[in-house]
Amino acid sequence: MLVKDIIRANQVVGFNNDFTRELFLEEIAEAIKRDELRVQSRKIGESFLDTSFNHKLKGQSQWKKFMEELSSNLAMIVGVQGVPLNYIIRKDVVPHFDPSIPYDEAIIQGVAMDGPAFKIDARTVHQIILRNVHEDSDAYVYLKPLLHRQAGSLDIQALRGRYQSEASVQAIINNAKSILCNLRYKNERSFSFERFSAKFQRAYDDLEEAGRQVHNGDIVDALWQKIQSIELQPYLASLKVDYQCRNRDYNLILQDIAAEVAVKRQPTDMKDNRTAISALHTKLGPCPDTGVHKSDGSLYIGNYETDKWLHESVKPYHKEIMLARKKARGKRSSNQTQLKNQRRKLNKIQLEIKAARTKLDEITSKDNDNDNTNLEISSVAEAV
């Protein structure tokens, strides 16, 4: 197994001068563990061979999501060479194994992209790509001349040449700049803050992917100017002061503003809690994909998965979430106590009513006996 791993990495099988028995045993143990995981991964990967993507490729707008799904799926499938199939779509076709990083990462770049085993893996990737590209699309036009080759490595080169060429990248940059130039938020009636935030973040994400990453400070400076809502200006002023004291990621600032917008939309009697970021808490529904706020601006205080709970966008709200959970538990306990007290009072009242009815029945019965006695006396008197 160790020898197979070395061959996969195109390394020379042998021992270095500084090779020791302990190091040899350690590498054998790691190779055995990798082989066991490889067997499990093969079984798991079988279910991904026929997977249909959520974002099938038609043109430039689907390219990013398509590549994310393709890379994710191929990473789950172990090919004939014993390596995850995402090695087929790597950019650098020349193998280079870096022993300074974990083997599972290094082998993706280190395995050779030639030979019979590689051709089988490339054919498998070709089938996955072809299944998730629309036949009547711009993308299919670039794949059509290569269909007879059945090589996923050539398919991905053709698609990258179309959607990641200098001209395509420049078009993405120009579009992102155009969006940022015209993007403004004035009020919820004309353009919701949720849509504004999504467009704002997507534009900067596109610039980053195109190699034109903008410094966080410059993004924050641009953000203040683009929010032109008069109602939000006092809140923005406080955020600016806070930002001067502690630099924060622009995504976190957007979340704060989104929560404030949600509070502004609530009735007046729901705006009294201004110390917290949001006047609303909820355990209902699924956990937010990013951050801690639901689409209505409420702070989600339900269960978070470990990776989400430890994410940088959630950490600043740990204390507030824990406090809200504690209050919710206290309120629930208080409600239960009140309910028990009310039931106890109701039982007492019912017992008092029952006792009163019994006493009333006794009085009524006694009155009837007295009436009968008086009637008998009257009858005797009349007879005399």
255 in a structural domain? no
- Residue 281: beta bridge partners? 299
Quote the percentage of the chain above a pLDDT of 90.
36
149 in a structural domain? yes
Name the residue with higher pLDDT: 42 or 73.
73
Q: Which two tokens stand for residue 269?
A: 């009697």
User: How confident is the model at residue 218, as a pLDDT?
Assistant: 94
How large is the average pLDDT for residues 270-288? 59
35 in a structural domain? yes
- Do residues 137 and 34 make contact, with C-beta atoms less than 8 angstroms apart? no
Least confident span in 17-26, 47-56, 203-212: 17-26
User: How confident is the model at residue 377, as a pLDDT?
Assistant: 46
Q: Which two tokens stand for residue 262?
A: 């949600």
User: What are the counts of helices (DSSP H) followed by strands (DSSP E) for the chain?
Assistant: 14, 2
Domain span at residue 72 reads: 2-164
- Residue 227: beta bridge partners? 185
Q: How far apart are CA 310 and CA 307, in angstroms?
A: 5
178 in a structural domain? no
User: How confident is the model at residue 276, as a pLDDT?
Assistant: 40
**Where does the pLDDT of residue 287 fall: very low under 50, low under 70, confident under 90, or very high at 90 and above?**
confident
How large is the average pLDDT for residues 98-126? 91
Could you report how far apart the first and last alpha carbons of the chain are, in Å? 131
Structurally, the chain folds into a number of domains equal to 1
Name the residue with higher pLDDT: 37 or 104.
104
Q: How far apart are CA 33 and CA 40, in angstroms?
A: 11
**Where does the pLDDT of residue 185 fall: very low under 50, low under 70, confident under 90, or very high at 90 and above?**
very high
User: How confident is the model at residue 327, as a pLDDT?
Assistant: 79
Taking the model in full, what pTM does it have?
0.53
User: How confident is the model at residue 190, as a pLDDT?
Assistant: 82
48 in a structural domain? yes
318 in a structural domain? no
77 in a structural domain? yes
Q: What share of the chain is helix, strand, coil (3-state, %, to 5)?
A: 65, 5, 30
- Do residues 179 and 209 make contact, with C-beta atoms less than 8 angstroms apart? no
226 in a structural domain? no
- Residue among 315, 302, 293 at smallest CA distance from 249: 315
Across 135-172, b (16+ Cβ under 10 Å) vs e yields eeeebeebbeebeeebbbbbbbbbbbebbbeeebbeeb
DSSP string, 322-346: HHHHHHHHHHHHHHHHHHHHHHHHH
Across 50-86, b (16+ Cβ under 10 Å) vs e yields eeebebbbbebebbbebbebbeebbbbbbbebbbbbb
User: How confident is the model at residue 270, as a pLDDT?
Assistant: 44
**Where does the pLDDT of residue 319 fall: very low under 50, low under 70, confident under 90, or very high at 90 and above?**
confident
Name the residue with higher pLDDT: 339 or 164.
164
User: How confident is the model at residue 255, as a pLDDT?
Assistant: 92
- Do residues 139 and 58 make contact, with C-beta atoms less than 8 angstroms apart? yes
Question: Residues 113-132: pLDDT tens digits?
Answer: 999 999 999 999 999 999 99
Tokens 């090589």, located at residue? 151
**Where does the pLDDT of residue 40 fall: very low under 50, low under 70, confident under 90, or very high at 90 and above?**
confident
Name the residue with higher pLDDT: 35 or 374.
35
Tokens 């924060």, located at residue? 248
* CA-based torsion, 138, 140, 142, 145: positive or negative: negative
